Amino acid sequence: MRFSVYQESHIGGRKNNQDRMGYSFTRDSLLLLLADGMGGHIQGEMAATIALQTIGSLFQRQATPYVKKPERFLEDSFFAAHREILRYRATHNLPETPRTTIVACLVQHNNAFWAHCGDSRLYWMRGGQILARTRDHSRIETLIAEGRVDASERDTHPDRNKLFNCLGAPNAPIVEVSRRAGLQGGDILLLCSDGLWGVLPDHVLAHALQSNTIVRAVPELVGSATGIGGRNGDNVTALAMMWEASDAPAGSNTITTHTLPIGSVTTTIQASRHADVDPADLAESGDTFNESEIEKTIEEIRLAIEKSARITSRD
């Protein structure tokens, strides 16, 4: 494998950074991870940390040197992370379970597979064009998928920030897994939190990553989003990977893995667990709903995902 990768995060206008990101790779497999701890619930950063550590550990165990069943791995590892978050709550006797959104991408054999829960996003770009983007598991996206709201209301609708899918919720998460995506040299995969995509439009992200190397584009995008968000801005986090053709000249930031021994793993997922957050520091959230409403909307999301999959398969 040959690729370049760059990640950056900024606290924005918040008291602490609840975003977590990281990547791991073996000779034949690369895992990209990004989680956004949910600030309306206690210890969101712990949920994000646990998710990365759990999924990263499973990758190190199963990528020998590649993951045999990538789609199954993504789904199983998300559920494992969800269980570990629930276990953390029980162990520490917390009044509620920490929660986090999550997006992950597994790259091997020139193919990418990704999965997500919530509104942490993945973009697949080629030549400045967005080939695919994850669809947020939010109330507004469900309404759009059902044809009850026009897509033009995506950025202004009062339900745009209401999420019904994450790790750590009372209900089991819905893990939406992509189909296999064949990568070409120059393709870019961008994982980011809503602190980035919620401020910068998709075309701005695509243009920036086409115009510059990811090493320059990522910090510029994070800086722009942070500046626009200002004192009330969210945490801003981005992790980008550019896939490189095997016959392309190697750049200064190119990682080549074919010389790595089988069994070796390189990783940046080393986030340590932090002390408990003072509940008084947590912001009030207006996005809390009763269990029956959550269950109803989860079923709506499932149906929308199944409908989308049927449409895609016909195309």
Q: Give the torsion sign (CA, 119, 123, 128, 130).
A: negative
250-308: per-residue pLDDT in tens?
777 899 998 899 889 999 996 444 333 333 333 333 333 344 444 454 454 445 445 44
Query: Which pLDDT value is given to residue 142?
Result: 83
Token digits of residue 70 = 């990538």
Q: How many CB atoms lie within 10 A of CB 202?
A: 13
C-alpha dist (Å) from residue 176 to 209, 225, 263, 282, 309: 25, 27, 29, 29, 10
**What's the pTM?**
0.84
Pick the CATH number of 2-280+293-314 from 3.30.420.40, 3.30.470.20, 3.60.40.10, 3.40.50.300: 3.60.40.10
Q: How confident is the model at residue 9 (pLDDT cuts 50, 70, 90)?
A: very high
The single residue listed with the structure tokens 């080939």 is 131
95-147: per-residue pLDDT in tens?
999 999 999 999 999 999 999 999 999 999 999 999 999 999 988 888 888 88
Phi, psi of 42 (to 5 degrees): -70, 145
Nearest residue to 40 (alpha-carbon basis) of 99, 102, 90: 99
Region of poorest pLDDT, from 20-29, 71-80, 187-196, 289-298: 289-298
Query: Is 169 buried (19+), middle (13-18) or exposed (0-12) by CB count in 10 A?
Result: buried
Provide the residue ranges of all domains of the chain, joining segments of one domain with +: 2-280+293-314
Buried b (16+ CB within 10 A) or exposed e, 100-114: bbbbbbbbbeeebbb
Asked if residues 301 and 294 have their Cβ atoms less than 8 Å apart, the reply is no
The single residue listed with the structure tokens 């497999």 is 29
Phi, psi of 56 (to 5 degrees): -65, -40
Nearest residue to 129 (alpha-carbon basis) of 63, 207, 75: 207
188-227: per-residue pLDDT in tens?
999 999 999 999 999 999 999 999 999 999 999 999 999 9
The C-alpha angle 218, 222, 226, rounded to 5 degrees, equals 170
* Distance from C-alpha of 282 to C-alpha of 30, rounded to nearest angstrom: 35
Query: Which pLDDT value is given to residue 272?
Result: 43
Residue 170's identity, in one-letter code, is P
